[in-house]
Structure 1
Amino acid sequence: MTRSYRGDRRTKETDIELILNLDGKGQGKIATGIGFFDHMLEQIMKHGQLDLELKAVGDIEVDFHHTVEDVGILMGKAIAEALGDKKGIVRYATAFIPMDEALSMVSMDISGRPFLQYGVNYSGEFVGQFEVQLVEEFFRALAFNSGITLHIQTQYGRNNHHIVESIFKAFAKALREAITIDPRIEGVLSTKGSL
């Protein structure tokens, strides 16, 4: 069974193409036109062991918001469709990841009930030219389009780059664990019989 997705999202603001393999080796190519965002998506790819090909062209001359949010929308859709019926997945996962002085936690439930709880304090508004408030927008779009209940909390940290990167790495590690197939699970991991 191949857990993969190939698709696109085209609006007046963005044009995005994405190929995702959930059971990859952490390889691929990412080009959104937003250097720091590309670097963060590479963290998901590498530490989540996902193969990801992503090309996005957006109205970044206006700002980065449309591109970041629309990538989140398409990635969420890709995860949901690649998971299919979710049979055998572990479903839940929590990861704490440090980066120097910053420590972040991501906890998720691939439940079909989208939700984002986001508790992150930054020391400023930007990492380079990237507005840190867009991290929340990205994960909200991803959560609501993947059907994932997602909790993100930074325990502490001072450097915005370190805080953001620890969040993306923690998301990657939690996702890798939650989508793992456990052969002991018959059907889906739910007393209701569906997710």
Structure 2
Amino acid sequence: MGTLYKTIILFVIIVGAMSCGGAKKAEQEALAQARRDSIALAKQNAILPIQKKYGAILGVPPKEIDNIALFEFIDDWMNAPYKLGGNTKQGIDCSYFTQYIFHDVYGNLIERTAQKQFDAPDTNKFKGLHNLKQGDLIFFNNRGSEFREITHVGFYLGNDRFVHSTSRKGNSGGNGVQISNLQKQPWKRMFVAGGKKPKFNNNTTEN
């Protein structure tokens, strides 16, 4: 009986030790998972440098810069010089630039010239500036008249700001791809209409 008793006691001790070890291991795994979840949440809520940069430029909270692909595209082209008929970073015109945005960011091929982009059947045109949303085209000419030739096109970003390639010099002192304020001259005077185009990228907000 003495030997059997000792054997039972030893078995209980071993099982208990295994149970404690298993509980400790489970606790360690739970803590490790909690750390991983915390890191993932921090990354999810982190503000990216590009959000800070363009939030400041547009005058909006960085979190509102949520279409990262769009702003990475813009950042890649920023300050590329203007060139009539140009289609490279050595020189690009307004309608090639908007065409590239729609193709590279939204997966949609739109018309080549500002006038054709304006006249296209799938361009839903409107006059009110308050109806503008990110992703809309904005059309211009010297008279601000829809009965005159459309001579310039830009891409609306929000908070009255739009990106475009222009021969006019911006704040940096150079022409080309830049972000301008639609409420400032000459753009306010030259504004003809906004235009909504269909988009096919699920990462963007539908107009």
TM-score (norm 1): 0.25
| Structure having the higher Rg | 2
* Higher share in helix: 2
TM-score (norm 2): 0.24
* Higher share in strand: 1
